[in-house]
Amino acid sequence: MSFESFETLVREEFAPRTTYLNTASSGIGPRRAAEALRQGTGRWADGTDSFEDNEATVAAVRGAYARLTGVAPERVAVGSAVTTHVGLIAAGLPRGAEVIVADGDFSSLVNPFATRPDITLRIVPLEGIADAVRPGTSLVAVSAVQSADGRVADLPSIREAAAAHGARVLLDATQAVGWLPVAGAAYDYVVCGGYKWLLCPRGVSFLTVREGADDWVSPHFVGWYAAEDPWGECYGPIAETAHSARRYDVMPPFLLHLAGAASLSLIEELGVPAIGAHDVALAERFRSGVQRLGHKAVPSGAAPSAIVSVPGLGDAAAALTAAGIRVAARAGHLRAAFHLYNGTADVDRLLAALA
């Protein structure tokens, strides 16, 4: 897609009323998604919606996410929250397992393991994860991009260290998929919340499980929807769960997936490489600008990031938001996140306000 076509399509889909630089908290829904949600709500209200149509929508969402992360649709489970997916894995870990997480990683990834007193949770600096993996390590659970400050994990080194010591890797790709290419098949487990960089409504999430790693995914949340024949086994114990990753599905909210399917279609249409290049260029412009103002942003980590965190400026977030510039304060820092609906004028307005 040409730069002109990219820009034209973005203008057609988005009309933010603020300088919105807070995608790391929640993305802006495109017009096509809002329209899909309106139409779906209308069908729900007048009784013309159908389970078959809703199932086709969920299949479209599952397929789009599979294409974006390079896995087969049969390996994708859907749900409504990342913590639920992580909980399936945390509940299935054997007693005595050692789990390594990054210091300050998002609680939705960390807490399901912290609540199990019979496993060992080791918290280490993000940059030290690969070195911390040892023969007794069972699992490394890490976010591809840190929520608090945008640091990108050194995923090749983590995968290499895990493979060398027989450990598995759980990747939280919530802050990555949509702008940063993620090869889902390279990990044992990948979880992703779709309401940030994938521009879905809150309530659309994904889990992928590598073939052969199913033994650590607990069936505790299995309901009728996870049966191989849902309508044939919706009463009493399920005799046969789905043969695909659908056996890990948590009943998806259909209305939200209607909008999600539309949002994912836009991400595919624009292309993750083009979105990522756009986002990172804006982030680097801001990073250079705050340095000229005498501030030093948190280093982006193993790769350039679409999220920039600036220590010492967290207190400015409320005033900036009041002025129509939506950013966030995280861990005492000012956090700005740049996505496809932002432009250089947004960066410059933020810099001018900080100056």
**pLDDT at residue 293, as a whole number:** 96
Q: How high is the mean pLDDT of the chain?
A: 96
The Cα 245–Cα 241 span in angstroms is 10
Residue extents of the structural domains in the chain: 3-30+271-354, 44-269
| Residue 74 identity (one-letter amino acid) | E
pLDDT tens digit sequence for 203-229: 999 999 999 999 999 877 888 988 999
Task: Specify whether the backbone of 166 is left (phi greater than 0), alpha (psi in -120 to 50) or beta.
Answer: left
Q: Please, which pLDDT band fits residue 100 given cuts at 50, 70 and 90?
A: very high
H/E element holding 345? helix 344-354
Q: Give mean pLDDT, residues 179-192.
A: 98
Task: Measure the CA–CA gap between 171 and 184, rounded to whole angstroms.
Answer: 9
Q: Assign a CATH topology to domain 3-30+271-354.
A: Aspartate Aminotransferase, domain 1 (3.90.1150)
Read off the tokens for 310: 């600036």
The pLDDT of residue 165: 98
Q: CATH fold of 44-269, please?
A: Aspartate Aminotransferase; domain 2 (3.40.640)
Q: Could you give the angle at which helices 31-46 and 254-270 cross, rounded to 10 degrees?
A: 160
Kindly tell me if the per-residue pLDDT of 1 is higher than 90. no
Q: 205-209 and 189-193 as β-strands: parallel, antiparallel, unpaired?
A: antiparallel
Per residue in 14-73, pLDDT (tens digit) is: 989 999 999 999 999 999 999 999 999 999 999 999 999 999 999 999 999 999 999 999
Distance of alpha carbon 330 from its chain centroid, rounded?
Answer: 18
pTM above 0.75, yes or no: yes
Q: What is the pLDDT of residues 149-164, one digit of tens each?
A: 999 999 999 999 999 9
Can you read off the two tokens belonging to residue 85?
């997916």
Residue 233 backbone phi and psi in degrees, to 5: -135, 50
Pairing of strands 325-326, 328-330: unpaired
Helix (H, G, I), strand (E, B) or coil at 227: strand
Q: Contact, 160 vs 140, CB < 8 A? A: no
Residues 6+ apart with CB under 8 A from 265: 32, 64
